[in-house]
Amino acid sequence: MKQEIKLPEIADNVVSGFLARILVKVGDVIEKDQSIIEIETDKAATDIPAPIGGKIVDIRVHAGDEIRVGQTIMVVENDVRDVTDVKEVKGVKGVTEGKDVKVVMDAKSEAPHDLTSSRPHVLTPAYLVPASPSVRRFARELGLDINRVKGTGPGGRISNDDVKAHAKEVIQSPKSTQFAGYAEVPDFSKWGPVDYQPMSRIRTITAESTVNSWQTIPQVVQFDKADITEVEKFRLMSKTAVEKAGGKLTMTAILLKLSAMALRQFPKFNASVDMKNKQIVYKNYINIGIAVDTELGLLVPVVQDVDKKSLTELSVEINGIAERARNRKLTSEEMQGGNFTISNLGGIGGTSFTPIVYPNQVAILGVSKSGIEPVYRDGEFVPRTMLPLSLSYDHRLIDGADGARFLVWMCKVLEQPFLTWL
Ligand code: CAO
């Protein structure tokens, strides 16, 4: 039995979306709830899951198309035994605005699955530039990266004219850094069996964002080790109290709190570089991103106003955002506006690593695994708990001495937190 899959309602007042990617192809056998396409709108980027399973026999849209809610995306053929009943159910808001829609009854669960379900897809900085789908498509057609276009509209909104102005600039600039396109990879199957898997949206965005960072930010990494023996004692002593409040007191929360203090002490690290206007943007708020490892890839939710929150509040908040990141429940707002980032890999292991500065930020703190080490003090070796830290920073704004001072300050305060009282 052939059934059409239509674009469900994506969000309130959104009537169409721009088709970023098709995640399946004709002939694929898909399962119910499997993501089939990725849609971008002004408000969000969203995976659209298949409301039914089956074999795809026709795909009626193309990447780059603007698709309207209710438009047929693809046709699926499935075994009628999987779908026992197709009923009209009153009151379910669905593919056609304001009208009743067909609801597929699953033979086993008896539970109705409306055709409108869609999972919010997390946003990363690559998606956060304000531009309509048609403007994004225009930029894409010209081979331009929308993230590099300066918007002149309200709130930096990008118009077609902005894209054209950027295109002109790119064409006229002999030193243009506009990305020229990806090189073909060789046919690896010549040397052995291979599998092909489409890149997920998160993977693609991480790839694009790190390439952007790598190409535009000259990065230096400063390493140090902090003696956290006393902090560890405090952490273990306070763990239960924080747990009662719903948080988990780990080094991430402590470093979050400490980073907020460091950013106030060293405002350059809380700034952004605006090369186009040859200015530095100093921010008077302290928002810090936390790198979270999820099954789908890296996500960086942002904790806002870190300096105004207690350690317990921060521990609870980290728990919440990490869980929401792992369950793909983060909102686009929670991914925006970070000034600095912490990437703690110490829960996994490692002695050091060099994190990459996020675009529009100037520094990121990498944290590796703490451990007890012999430290030479007052004529003898004593066991101390040492935490390896690495600070990557943007050399356009931050000089080596600044980077060293920042990290040394952090290490000193970790060793003797009372120093911040002075
Ligand atoms: N050294 C030693 N142990 C550490 C540690 C460190 N630096 N950091 C955390 N730990 C311990 C914790 O205390 C905890 O121990 P227990 O299980 O005994 O309580 C354990 O490691 C696991 O910690 P956690 O992951 O649950 O909590 P967290 O607050 O330390 O970290 C989060 C939260 C979200 C940062 C982390 O889970 C995560 O996703 N890290 C990966 C970040 C990442 O991918 N970075 C790379 C980005 S760039 O490629």
Give CA–CA dist 6/29, Å, rounded.
Answer: 17
pTM, entire model: 0.66
* Alpha carbon nearest to ligand 1 atom 25, residue: 347
Give CA–CA dist 338/301, Å, rounded.
Answer: 8
- Contact present, 5 and 52 (Cβ < 8 Å): yes
Distance 90 CA to ligand 1 centre (A): 48
Q: Residue 40: in which H helix or E strand, if any?
A: strand 35-40
Q: What is the DSSP letter of 11?
A: S
Give CA–CA dist 371/346, Å, rounded.
Answer: 10
Q: What is the DSSP letter of 69?
A: T
Coil, helix or strand for 304? coil
Q: Give the torsion through C-alpha atoms of 391, 392, 396, 401, to 10 deg.
A: 30
Domains of the chain with bracketed CATH: 2-82 (2.40.50.100), 220-421 (3.30.559.10)
* Alpha carbon nearest to ligand 1 atom 20, residue: 347
Distance 25 CA to ligand 1 centre (A): 38
For 256, the token pair is: 């979050």
Please report the pLDDT score of residue 90 as a whole number: 36
Give CA–CA dist 362/380, Å, rounded.
Answer: 40
- Contact present, 84 and 105 (Cβ < 8 Å): yes
Distance 347 CA to ligand 1 centre (A): 4
Q: Which of 252, 327, 357 to mutate to test the pocket of ligand 1 (most atoms within 8 A of CB)?
A: 252
Q: What is the DSSP letter of 131?
A: B
Helices of type H across 118-173:
133-141, 160-172
Give CA–CA dist 163/149, Å, rounded.
Answer: 6
Which residue in 336, 391, 356 sits closest to 217, CA to CA? 356
* Ligand 1 atom nearest to 356, measured from its CA: 48
Question: Which residues does a 6 A CB cutoff place in the pocket of ligand 1?
Answer: 250-252, 290-293, 298, 318, 322, 343-347, 355, 367, 369-370, 387
Helix axes 251-265, 311-326, angle to 10 degrees: 120
Which residues are identified as catalytic? 395
Give CA–CA dist 73/47, Å, rounded.
Answer: 13
Helix axes 251-265, 229-244, angle to 10 degrees: 110
- Per-block average pLDDT, block size 10, for the chain (422 residues)? 88 77 91 85 72 93 87 86 36 33 30 34 44 79 81 85 87 60 89 93 90 95 97 96 96 97 98 96 98 93 97 96 92 90 97 97 98 97 98 98 98 88 71
Q: Any residues with CB less than 8 A from the CB of 93 and at least 6 apart, and which? A: 9, 101, 116
* Ligand 1 atom nearest to 343, measured from its CA: 45
- Return the number of other C-beta atoms located less than 10 Å from residue 187's C-beta: 8
* Alpha carbon nearest to ligand 1 atom 33, residue: 252
* Ligand 1 atom nearest to 322, measured from its CA: 34
Distance 252 CA to ligand 1 centre (A): 7
Greatest alpha-carbon span in the chain: 83
